[in-house]
A and B are shown apart, each in its own frame.
Chain A
């Protein structure tokens, strides 16, 4: 197990965005955080990454709690719908990621990795363009490249397929798979359950800020069946509906 999330909660005034959220993340897996819009997926990621304070809960790795300031050694979070450094070029953003975001360690394989990602995410044509001028899908590919260039063992990506067409979504899925195969743990927030079903190894189901289930499709199906006393269903959408 890479890390464990215990009892995370977050309120915005009278609204409970997260309530006692607990689950665990295994090393090297592709874990999907699925739930409808407003379920609290982005809030959970921001709390885990330490860019939003949680009201309670702990993140534990190797049996000990990981404080907010220490999380940068464990995970990196790529938010959705942001346009960082809008006036700077894509090439500069990738270099900045290697130079700044990865920390003070001397350069290793980052430069070949950058070139590989430029090809995998089809960014070569965009290298000279300012990030602020990119389309939603292009920006999403740049953000994925930034995330994949960071050195943390776990990468949290908010809506990795949002804004992408079918072909791009497939290409990016295979790119992410390739990086997962190299040992990187991916934790992806996806509101399209069909996308998640195709891509993830395991799932955390989130609804109204609460975890409704955690496991593989089979495990979740068994859970749904146990709840409703009906035969297990192997379709994730049906399982999700049954559990939420």
Chain B
């Protein structure tokens, strides 16, 4: 018997517990078909848009593999993180309590934070194993002759690992709070549904709801799917994950009075709220926390480089007041095609939406509805255009900056690929599930 540190023994134990967890094997098994459906469908559509089977070629220029193939393929991870991963995490955290092992292990004296760290490391390793199917899809895509741009794929993968971290933190906290795993599962799914409701309200109500909805797991993943890596989003996700793990560690200490654990939990929640507030609201102009990186090959989150250079010359604070309702499609256009890009390049930008209703349908006749007011250093102008070009034009005219000449060479042309997803069905519907089943049988025999 080799001498190892107690933490390594704990890691060994958690890994063995993961290996015997049926929930984890189900997660591994399901990832093959889930990724297969998404990948095959995405590659087919991509091929058709690129001119396969006589469809008009050339439209593929508008497609990038990130939005055309990888975002839908990796969406299987999002699905698994919501509906499967919580059960794996709950099994690993609540299992000790159910079997009575926690009563023995707590007497070792190891910090509960070290214990929850071991569980988290093992769960993340288990999640990375579950991400092998989408990662293997990259090799398959390469074999078709597809283009791969590593920075955007790394961002996307990182986003899904971060999302898994959030799920693990949440499930671990719920497992420690509750006596029974089924209660933990209900509460975990309840919180997830709660974030969907926040998204829903954000889309309808706008305002604070919209701001909160920007930090839900679904919104976070959507950013990564576009190749956008925002420091504040990453920090908020890390704060939430650490808060969940901290709560799990606090409630794991069965020997501490409930009142004290509750007080400590409130402390953790206050710290987490403070951290989130600092990341989201205390972001004065030029703050490091506003830093973001557009890792997409198509620069889908950025204006053309020449425009960005021109915008950087404008140092005065810019205020935009848009009279558009939250559900008005023009507002979505304005936000996604112009303002989200503008925020990245102009930290002193202040945007305010004004509307009396959520859908805007009955406001159309109101004077002033649809107007977008720009205020730069006391100079004001109004426009109704919601495209990126229209917004830039208004800003340039206010700032007295000459618009940069258009550069056709800098425009992303896309990577059309008119190839069917040959062999993908065999890999994701047969080979991967077969490998998982065979490995599962081998492991279960080893543990018999």
Contacts and interface: CB of A to CB of B under 8 A. Distances in A.
B100 interface: yes
Interface stretch (B5-13, B200-208, B338-346, B409-417): B5-13
Interface stretch (A20-28, A93-101, A160-168): A93-101
B17 A89 contact: no
B428 to A, nearest CB: 29
A15 interface: no
Interface in A57-103: 68-69, 71-73, 76-79, 81-89, 92, 95-96, 98-101, 103
Given A95-B1, A99-B1, A111-B1, A84 B6 contact: no
Interface stretch (A30-38, A45-53, A118-126, A220-228): A45-53
Contacts, number: 95
Contact of B9 (A46, A51, A99, A146): A99
A244 B130 CA distance: 60
A130 B9 contact: no
A13 interface: no
A141 to B, nearest CB: 16
A107 interface: yes
Contacts of B102: 51
B104 interface: yes
B256 interface: yes
A124 to B, nearest CB: 17
Nearest to A110: B1
Given A87-B17, A98-B1, A72 B109 contact: yes
How would you classify the secondary structure of chain B's contact residues: helix, strand, loop or mixed?
Answer: helix
B6 A103 contact: yes
B99 interface: yes
B5 A50 contact: no
B17 A100 contact: no
Contacts of A85: 13, 17, 99, 101
Nearest to A129: B448
Contact of A99 (B6, B257, B258): B6
Nearest to A69: B109
Interface in B391-448: 447-448
Contacts of A46: 103
Interface string B10-30: 101100110010000000000
Interface in B281-322: none
Interface string B108-132: 1100000000000000000000000
A231 interface: no
A72 B447 contact: no
A96 B255 contact: no
Given A72-B107, A82-B101, A51 B254 contact: yes
A192 B78 CA distance: 56
A106 interface: yes
A101 to B, nearest CB: 5
B108 A72 contact: yes
B108 A101 contact: yes
Nearest to A128: B448
Interface centre among B3, B13, B107 (most CB of A within 10 A): B107
B87 to A, nearest CB: 16
Given A49-B107, A50-B255, A106-B3, 15 more contacts: A50-B106, A53-B254, A53-B258, A73-B109, A76-B107, A77-B107, A82-B99, A86-B99, A88-B20, A95-B1, A96-B9, A96-B12, A99-B1, A99-B9, A107-B3
17 contacts: A50-B107, A52-B254, A53-B255, A53-B256, A68-B256, A79-B100, A82-B101, A84-B100, A85-B13, A87-B17, A87-B447, A92-B16, A99-B1, A99-B6, A100-B6, A104-B5, A130-B448
